Amino acid sequence: MALLNRDPNSPVVWNGELPITNRYTYGLAGEKFFRTLKDEGRILGTHCPHCDQTYVPAAIFCERCLAKLDDWVDVGTSGEVNTFTFLQVNLNGSPLEKPEIIAFVRFGDGGLIHRLGEITPDQVEIGMMVQAVFKPSSERIGSILDIDYFKPV
Amino acid sequence: MGMRKVAVVGAGMTKFVRRAQETPKELSWEAAHMALESCEMTMDDIEAVCLGTAPDAFDGIHMNGEYLSDGAGAWRKPYMRSYVGGGTGVFVPIQGWYHIASGLFDVVMVVAEEKMSSYYPHAQAAFLTIFDHTTERPLKPNLLWIFAMEMNRYMTTYGISKADIAQVAVLHKRNAADHPCALLGDADITLDDILKSEVLAWPVQRLDVSPVSDGAVAVILAAEHVAKRITDKPVWIEGVGWHLDTGYWTNRDLAYPRYVEYAARMAYDMAGIKEPRKEIHIVEPYDPFDYKALHHLEGLQLAERGKAPELYSDGTASRTGNMPVCPSGGLLGVGNPIAAAGLMKIAELFWQLRGEAGARQVPGQPRRGLAQAWGDLMQVGTVVIMGR
Amino acid sequence: MTANIKEFPGISLNEQDFADGKILYNFDKLNGLYAWDTGIGIGSYLASLKNGVILGSHCKTCRKVVVPPRTICEWCFRPMDEFVPLKDTGIVNTFSLCYVTWDVQRIKDPEIPAVIDIDGASPMHGIMHMLGDVDPQEVKIGMRVQAVWKPTSERKGSINDIQYFKPIEEK
Amino acid sequence: MQERVAIVGVGCTGFRSITPESSYKEMVYEAATRAYTDAGVDPRRDVESFVTVAEDFHEGTSIFDEYTPDQIGGALKPVHTITGDGLHGIATAYMLIRTGQFDIVAVEGHSKASNIKTLPEVTAYAQDPVLNRPLKLNSHFIAGLEMNRFLFETGTSHEHCAAVVVKNRYNALNNPVAPYGADLNLEDVLSGSMLSWPLGIRETAEHADGAILMVLASEDKATYLTDKPIWILGAGWNNDSAALENRDWAHAIYAEEAARMAYRQAGINNPLEAIDIAEVDDTYAYKELQALEALGFCREGEAGILTVEGFTSPDSGLPVNVSGGSLGMGNLLEANGLARAYEIVLQLRGEAGVRQVEDVNIGLAQSWRGVPSSSGAVLILAN
């Protein structure tokens, strides 16, 4: 719709990037949740008595009523596979050599997103119980990756 | 049918700090939680949520509005995030206003959050990415450049000195000494301290600049019939205005913020204000840099062009003057978590007009105040006028 | 209400808290790569720069010549009427002496960014670029400057094909 | 306060997998010029406020709203950006006009997805940085998890999802602006490779570039400007939990809640009876089925069967995505909802050409913000 003609020698594109680098604190709830995961190999949630919801991973607030949560509960290390998928592509969109088995494992009214291991794709089922396999305590850094994967109970 | 009246009925905020431990969600929640408590309301009363946060680069999360929704109390509620760069903090209450004035909602929570420290190592570096990707970013510009160049143009056009401008930093930082959330309040700071601070990008020196900060602010807005049930002291939103100038910032006169003038005129019209200098009792202009407060006072028609420094030198701008400017301490004193800093000004007017500002209280029971923010490539003005 | 509130939320950390491992944190970096289509206006601008010409565009309705060139006039919302080659000289509209790089490194000799109103464009229509070959203390608003181009062989069709603008010697 | 608001002009450009001939500004200008001509308004004189929808990381620019006003006629006017879908933008314009302060408002959304060289990594940067991002997973896994649970709880089959692809890409053959029209059968869809099982690559909408602008007006202005105002009967928007850990994995709660809000405004109790045509999110094929159930067009588990039976085909009970949907027109990032609404406007005006559905009076458009979000919007329009 322009009246102007493009210079035939125009470059088609200009290449560039968004140079964004971040450092994230784990926050009030994350601090305690991940310290406990790292130091004690335990998974914590918080309970909102008003809404009767148990948040896992632990949250410092109830997303429903915005109450401050200080009722910390140990939810164990085994949970139910609520749903799962076999992811076939890398972060950059290229195909993965071997599909990754990713699951949402239910704990309390929340749960954790993680990989499943020691299992083949045809053995995975919604509703099966799986258990967190922790890295050796010396290798844990306070991260979701302190859990290596979840395996069938 | 006339326009629906909208009031501010509650407010809350976090401290503004250099590096917060809280996640962005948690900061939002702290402010939202406090705002609810301040007017004894619960989430059941909140019908919709409006969120303001400036570039995703700071919190470091793509689609940051979506990420922050649970912290802002938006779980299973109508929720949108609005965005006009640095002007966002004073825009997000405008967004809340139109939610209610439209007749679709009666009670809306407005939250503004910024966690600049998540951009690491230097929050300032994020600003490289606000420039045009093809024609400007290859020059490796930084944010100080455009402020410094605008300040220089302003000073040269009107013959304003560095000392004239430094008065702003002195007053605001002194005012901030009385703000419990302030990052850089200093009751004893002097003109000399400002003028002798490190030169960053002449004419900008270290103490001309507001600090990079983390924080969140929330306010609760209600329609007239609800507001009167909630509180005896609603503070009404009497006028709102916003304008966005062209993105071609090197193609306009940097000495005068025309977009702020247009935004102010829109708000004055709506509020029925004919003589702003007589009818505005407290003003919270946007002050990320000290000269910006002057620039904005002129755009807001509260001073003649090039004459805003006189408001500071003759005492008009002091907390006990005829038109106190930034009694909160402003961004220069309280801190500048971008979107949250703008909404802090709305919270300040709310407290001031209700007579609840404590040590910062402006005497004489002020009746009407104006808050303004600014942003993008020196191109947006957002204005809210509030009155008892 | 601030009068009634004793304690505001917000926990302040310092860098030492991170260094000492007092708190948990992680890092990430966006791999955000883009190839922005230059289009008619900016594509032609870049092609002209490669030829040592600063290109503007002209709106007959608004009687304006703008730079960088665009295909739409933002004031009358009509298509721009023609491209206009501009001079590579201009006037310093404003400038700064900047002692900090974009990634916050302190530098001894300042960078001198400026808005330069380009000769041939309408008044107050300029571009951002750097000044060079000049004593920082001598830079003035209103000063006349000229582009210093990279050698033809090194030009790539980029704003950096102009190295900087330098003062024009007064005769 | 103004009660009634109408869409009085629409314009688009695109939609193609690449658009190297124009910059995003030039592309948006084309759509804008068409929309303003369609509405018979001069943006500089008549349009009082502007709403744009955009996300910084999709543009490659922080504070992208800086660059929004010039190509829509909004310079030095009240312009603001919503970081949402185009339907959020329309809802915003709807609110602005209802305040009584504005008579004519424009809404713009666009996609230059082809300019993002690392889109999967950009999308992944929307995941929670502490809980999810360390796993370094392509965000399609979220759709895979959701689809699997949706199939499990509703008894929907993979074939049902593939039927959505067959229908929508065939519909796109009748839409001159849709780039991904194709005459496929179920086997063609099911034989494609997997993205995140059970989600196949052919059940995922390809991205496209394009721009859409719409002009909205108050009742007085709308009736003055056009003989064919398309009225907004209702607008709703909502979101489920932002956290992957707290959301409902099987149901599109955001669509359910947004529809509830929109239906309440429109006075609709029985959507299937009231609504003649729908354009819903199908950026993943299963999303169309999930949306149809959430919008109350059928009971849980029925949407797949209805699709296979042809109930959602253009000449049947409830035509869904006659435009081709996102599967046929392309995933347009923030502009997806505008593309859905665009088709409804054409259909309600009787201007949909060979794909015109007969006797349509009320239409619904619905959108979703994409992974990892759980938010979306619903718009109900009438002629």
Answer yes or no: is D54 within a domain: yes
Residue D91 and residue D113 in one domain: yes
Report pLDDT digits (tens) over D142-157.
999 999 999 999 999 9
- Are B287 and B168 in contact by the 8 Å Cβ rule? The answer is yes
Query: Angle B115-B118-B120 (CA atoms, 0-180°, nearest 5)?
Result: 140
Task: Verify whether the Cβ–Cβ distance C37 to D125 is below 8 Å.
Answer: no
Tokens coding D1:
């306060």
Which of B23, B57, B120 lies closest to A23 in CB terms? B120
Answer yes or no: is B128 within a domain: no
| CATH code of D354's domain | 3.40.47.10
Report pLDDT digits (tens) over B247-293.
999 999 999 999 999 999 999 999 999 999 999 999 999 999 999 99
Chain B nearest-CA distance from C84, in A, is 16
| Cα–Cα dist B212/B181, whole Å | 14
Tokens coding D191:
């034989």
| Cα–Cα dist A5/C47, whole Å | 13
Distance of CA D270 to the CA centre of its chain: 22
Scan for tokens 């900090």, then name that residue: C100
Answer yes or no: is D123 within a domain: no
Residues in chain C: 171
Answer yes or no: is D99 within a domain: yes
Number of domains in chain D: 2
Which of D76, D122, D374 lies closest to B62 in CB terms? D122
Which of B21, B148, B149 lies closest to C13 in CB terms? B21
Task: Verify whether the Cβ–Cβ distance D24 to C37 is below 8 Å.
Answer: yes
Is the confidence metric ipTM above 0.95 for this complex? yes
- Are B120 and A22 in contact by the 8 Å Cβ rule? The answer is yes
Q: Which chains touch A (3 or more CB pairs under 8 A)?
A: B, C, D
Chain B nearest-CA distance from C171, in A, is 25
Number of domains in chain B: 1
Mean pLDDT by 10 residues, chain C (171 residues): 75 96 97 98 98 98 98 97 98 97 87 98 97 97 98 98 93 60
Task: Decide if C25 touches A, using CB distance below 8 A.
Answer: yes
Tokens coding B306:
């090039």
Nearest chain C residue to B233 by CA distance is: C1
Which pLDDT score, from 0 to 100, does residue D318 have?
98
With helix as H, strand as E and coil as C, how does B122-135 read?
A: CHHHHHHHHCCCCC
| Cα–Cα dist B334/B312, whole Å | 19
Q: Which residues span the domain enclosing D14?
A: 5-118+208-230
Task: Verify whether the Cβ–Cβ distance A27 to B32 is below 8 Å.
Answer: no
Edge-to-edge, what's the strand order for the sheet holding C82-86? Answer: C64-66, C54-59, C82-86
Which pLDDT score, from 0 to 100, does residue C7 have?
85
pTM over 0.90: yes
Residues 6+ apart with CB under 8 A from B245: B252, B258, B259, B379, B380, D69, D75, D76
Which pLDDT score, from 0 to 100, does residue C2 have?
59
- What is the CB neighbour count within 10 angstroms for residue D119? 21
Chain C nearest-CA distance from A122, in A, is 34
Q: Bridge-partner residues for D301, per DSSP?
A: none
Answer yes or no: is D263 within a domain: yes
Answer yes or no: is B162 within a domain: no
Nearest chain C residue to A16 by CA distance is: C34
Is residue B218's pLDDT more than 60? yes
Instruction: Spell out which residues of chain C touch residue D21, defining contact as CB-CB under 8 Å.
Output: 37, 39-40
Taking the C-alpha atoms of B127, B218, B300 and D100 in order, what is their torsion angle to the nearest 10 degrees?
110
Task: Verify whether the Cβ–Cβ distance C27 to A26 is below 8 Å.
Answer: no
Which of C26, C37, C77 lies closest to D112 in CB terms? C37
Report pLDDT digits (tens) over D29-71.
999 999 999 999 999 999 999 999 999 999 999 999 999 999 9
Instruction: Spell out which residues of chain A touch residue B118, defining contact as CB-CB under 8 Å.
Output: 22-25
**Among residues D177, D213, D159, D204, which one has the least CA distance to residue D37?**
D213
Counting residues of chain B whose pLDDT is more than 90, the rounded percentage is 96
User: Residue A26 to residues A32, A72, C18: CA-CA distances in angstroms?
Assistant: 9, 17, 12
Which of D63, D78, D239 lies closest to B79 in CB terms? D239
pLDDT band at B178 (very low <50, low <70, confident <90, very high): very high
- What is the CB neighbour count within 10 angstroms for residue A137? 11
- Would you list the domain boundaries of chain A? 27-152
Answer yes or no: is D41 within a domain: yes
Tokens coding D375:
């938010």
Taking the C-alpha atoms of C91, C93, C99 and C103 in order, what is their torsion angle to the nearest 10 degrees?
-110
Percent composition of chain D: helix, strand, coil (DSSP 3-state, to 5): 40, 20, 35
**Among residues D88, D84, D47, which one has the least CA distance to residue D65?**
D84
**What sign results for the dihedral spanned by CA atoms D324, D328, D329, D330?**
positive
Report pLDDT digits (tens) over D188-236.
999 999 999 999 999 999 999 999 999 999 999 999 999 999 999 999 9
- Are B379 and B132 in contact by the 8 Å Cβ rule? The answer is no
Scan for tokens 């500048």, then name that residue: B336
| CATH code of B44's domain | 3.40.47.10
- Would you list the domain boundaries of chain C? 39-167
Tokens coding D382:
């009438």
Residue D64 and residue D100 in one domain: yes
Task: Verify whether the Cβ–Cβ distance C34 to A17 is below 8 Å.
Answer: yes
Scan for tokens 């006629």, then name that residue: D73
User: Residue B5 to residues B235, B350, B368: CA-CA distances in angstroms?
Assistant: 10, 16, 16
Residue D80 and residue D169 in one domain: no
With helix as H, strand as E and coil as C, how does D156-188 read?
A: CCHHHHHHHHHHHHHHHCCCCCCCCCCCCCHHH
Tokens coding B216:
């969140």
- Are B238 and B270 in contact by the 8 Å Cβ rule? The answer is yes
Instruction: Spell out which residues of chain A touch residue B79, defining contact as CB-CB under 8 Å.
Output: none
Task: Decide if B32 touches A, using CB distance below 8 A.
Answer: yes
Residue D223 and residue D254 in one domain: no
Average pLDDT over residues B102-128: 94
Residue D197 and residue D274 in one domain: yes
Task: Decide if D18 touches A, using CB distance below 8 A.
Answer: no
Is residue D1's pLDDT more than 80? no
Average pLDDT over residues A16-34: 97
Q: Which residues span the domain enclosing B233?
A: 6-120+211-387
Total CB pairs under 8 A between chain A and B = 70
Answer yes or no: is B274 within a domain: yes
Q: Which 3 state secondary structure label does DSSP give A59?
A: coil
Is residue B321's pLDDT more than 50? yes
Phi, psi of B112, rounded to the nearest 5 degrees: -130, 130
Strands D5-16 and D49-53: unpaired
Is residue B1's pLDDT more than 70? no
Residue D193 and residue D71 in one domain: no
Burial class from Cβ neighbours inside 10 Å (0-12, 13-18, 19+) for residue A115 reads middle
Scan for tokens 């950096």, then name that residue: C160
- Please, what's the b/e burial string for C114-144 (b: 16 or more CB within 10 A of its CB; e: otherwise)? bbbbbebbbeebbbbbbbeebeeeebebebe
Counting residues of chain D whose pLDDT is more than 70, the rounded percentage is 100
**Among residues D186, D174, D179, D184, which one has the least CA distance to residue D205?**
D179
Task: Decide if B63 touches A, using CB distance below 8 A.
Answer: no
User: Residue B66 to residues A63, C3, D93, D331: CA-CA distances in angstroms?
Assistant: 14, 34, 20, 19
Residue D340 and residue D314 in one domain: yes
DSSP, residue by residue, D289-349: HHHHHHTTSS-TTTHHHHHHTTTTSTTSSS-B-TT-HHHHH-B-GGGHHHHHHHHHHHHHH
Q: Which tops the pLDDT comparison, C171 or A6?
A: A6
Q: Bridge-partner residues for C145, per DSSP?
A: C90, C167
